[in-house]
Amino acid sequence: MSAKQGTALRYAIVGAGMAGILAAIKLREKGEAFTVFEKAERIGGTWRENRYPGLTCDVPAHAYTYSFEPYPEWQAYYATGGEIQTYFEKVVDKYAIRPAIRFGAEVTALDWDDAAAEWTLTLASGERQVFDVVIAASGVLHHPRMPEIPGLDSFAGPAFHTARWDDTAPIDDAKVGLIGCGSTGIQIVTAINTRVANLVHFQRSPQWIMPVPQFAYTEEERAAFRADPALIDAIRFSDEYIGNVRRFTDAITDIDGPQMKMIEEACLQNLENSIKDPVLKEKLRPTYRAACKRLIYSWSYYDAVQNPAVFVETGRIAHVEPGGVRMADGTFHELDTLILATGFQADRFIRPAGVTGRDGATLDTFWARRPTAHYAVTLPGFPNFFMLNGPTGPVGNFSLIDIAERQWDYIDQLIDLLRRGEGRAVAPTAAAHADYEERRIAAARTTIFGSGCSSWYLDGEGVPASWPWSYDAFDEAMRQPKLEQYAVTA
Ligand code: NAP
Q: Is the peptide bond before 352 cis (omega within 30 degrees of 0)?
A: yes
Residue ranges of E strands in 289-367: 296-298, 310-313, 317-321, 324-327, 332-334, 337-340, 354-356
Q: Looking at residue 7, what is its pLDDT?
A: 79
Residue ID of nearest Cα to ligand 1 atom 37? 183
d(CA 225, CA 223): 5
Ligand 1 mean position, distance from CA 181 (Å):
6
Closest by CA position to 286, among listed 172, 181, 440: 181
Provide the domain count of the chain: 2
Residues 110 and 215 in one domain: no
Check if 454 has its Cβ closer than 6 Å to any atom of ligand 1: yes
Ligand 1 mean position, distance from CA 286 (Å):
15
Residues 84 and 119 in one domain: yes
Q: Last residue of some domain: 340, 369, 395?
A: 340
Check if 192 has its Cβ closer than 6 Å to any atom of ligand 1: no
Q: Which residues of 389-413 are buried (b: 16+ CB within 10 A; e: fewer)?
A: bbbbbbbbbbbbbbbbbbbbebbbe
Residues 69 and 204 in one domain: no
Residues 52 and 167 in one domain: no
Pocket test for ligand 1, best of 49, 141, 184, 395 (most atoms within 8 A of CB): 184
d(CA 245, CA 52): 27
Residue ID of nearest Cα to ligand 1 atom 35? 183
Ligand 1 mean position, distance from CA 344 (Å):
7
d(CA 79, CA 75): 7
Ligand 1 mean position, distance from CA 456 (Å):
8
Residue pair 318/326 in contact (Cβ under 8 Å)? The answer is yes
Residue ID of nearest Cα to ligand 1 atom 20? 204
Q: Looking at residue 3, what is its pLDDT?
A: 42
Residues 111 and 181 in one domain: no
Q: Looking at residue 396, what is its pLDDT?
A: 84
Residue pair 228/202 in contact (Cβ under 8 Å)? The answer is no
Q: Looking at residue 170, what is its pLDDT?
A: 98
Half-sphere exposure of 27 (CA within 13 A, CB side): 26
Measure Cα distances from 414 to 192, 428, 487 in Å. Answer: 47, 10, 11
Assess if residue 268 is contained within a domain: yes
Check if 56 has its Cβ closer than 6 Å to any atom of ligand 1: yes
Ligand 1 mean position, distance from CA 183 (Å):
6
Cα angle at 291 between 287 and 294, to 5 degrees? 105
Atom from ligand 1 closest to the CA of residue 456: 3
Ligand 1 mean position, distance from CA 65 (Å):
24
Q: Looking at residue 4, what is its pLDDT?
A: 56
Residues 79 and 187 in one domain: no
Assess if residue 243 is contained within a domain: no
Atom from ligand 1 closest to the CA of residue 453: 46
Residues 333 and 353 in one domain: no
CB 128: neighbour CB atoms within 10 A? 11
Assess if residue 3 is contained within a domain: no
Ligand 1 mean position, distance from CA 206 (Å):
11
Check if 481 has its Cβ closer than 6 Å to any atom of ligand 1: no
Closest by CA position to 463, among listed 391, 377, 370, 347: 370
Check if 58 has its Cβ closer than 6 Å to any atom of ligand 1: yes
Q: Looking at residue 2, what is its pLDDT?
A: 43
Closest by CA position to 378, among listed 429, 443, 342: 429
Q: Which stretches of the chain drop beneath a pLDDT of 70? A: 1-6
Residues 317 and 205 in one domain: yes
d(CA 122, CA 289): 45
Check if 184 has its Cβ closer than 6 Å to any atom of ligand 1: yes
Cα-Cα-Cα-Cα dihedral sign, residues 66, 62, 194, 208: positive
Ligand 1 mean position, distance from CA 484 (Å):
40
Assess if residue 2 is contained within a domain: no
Residues 203 and 322 in one domain: yes
Assess if residue 466 is contained within a domain: yes
SS3 category, 324: strand
Residues 47 and 192 in one domain: no
Check if 182 has its Cβ closer than 6 Å to any atom of ligand 1: yes
Check if 205 has its Cβ closer than 6 Å to any atom of ligand 1: yes
Residue pair 402/389 in contact (Cβ under 8 Å)? The answer is no
Phi, psi of 485 (to 5 degrees): -90, 0
Residues 172 and 301 in one domain: yes
Q: The domain spanning residue 334 has which CATH number?
A: 3.50.50.60
Check if 141 has its Cβ closer than 6 Å to any atom of ligand 1: yes
Assess if residue 238 is contained within a domain: no
3-state helix, strand, coil in the chain (%, to 5): 35, 20, 45
The torsion angle over the Cα atoms of residues 281, 282, 287 and 291, rounded to 10 degrees, is -10
Assess if residue 467 is contained within a domain: yes
Residue ID of nearest Cα to ligand 1 atom 6? 180
Q: Last residue of some domain: 340, 362, 394?
A: 340
Residues 331 and 455 in one domain: no
Tell me the sheet residues that pair with 385.
Answer: 134
Residue pair 206/284 in contact (Cβ under 8 Å)? The answer is yes
Ligand 1 mean position, distance from CA 454 (Å):
11
Task: Determine the structural domain holding residue 324 and report its residue range.
Answer: 152-221+255-340
Phi, psi of 89 (to 5 degrees): -60, -45
Ligand 1 mean position, distance from CA 343 (Å):
4
d(CA 182, CA 465): 18
Ligand 1 mean position, distance from CA 28 (Å):
36
Residue pair 407/393 in contact (Cβ under 8 Å)? The answer is yes
Q: Looking at residue 397, what is its pLDDT?
A: 87
Check if 179 has its Cβ closer than 6 Å to any atom of ligand 1: yes
Q: How does strand 486-489 pair with strand 425-428? A: antiparallel
Assess if residue 232 is contained within a domain: no
Cα angle at 397 between 373 and 482, to 5 degrees? 40
Pocket test for ligand 1, best of 84, 141, 161, 296 (most atoms within 8 A of CB): 141
Ligand 1 mean position, distance from CA 23 (Å):
29
Q: Looking at residue 237, what is its pLDDT?
A: 86
Q: Last residue of some domain: 340, 357, 389?
A: 340
Q: Which DSSP state fits 317?
A: E
Q: Where are the alpha helices (DSSP H) in 296-429?
A: 301-305, 363-366, 400-419
Check if 342 has its Cβ closer than 6 Å to any atom of ligand 1: yes
Check if 383 has its Cβ closer than 6 Å to any atom of ligand 1: no
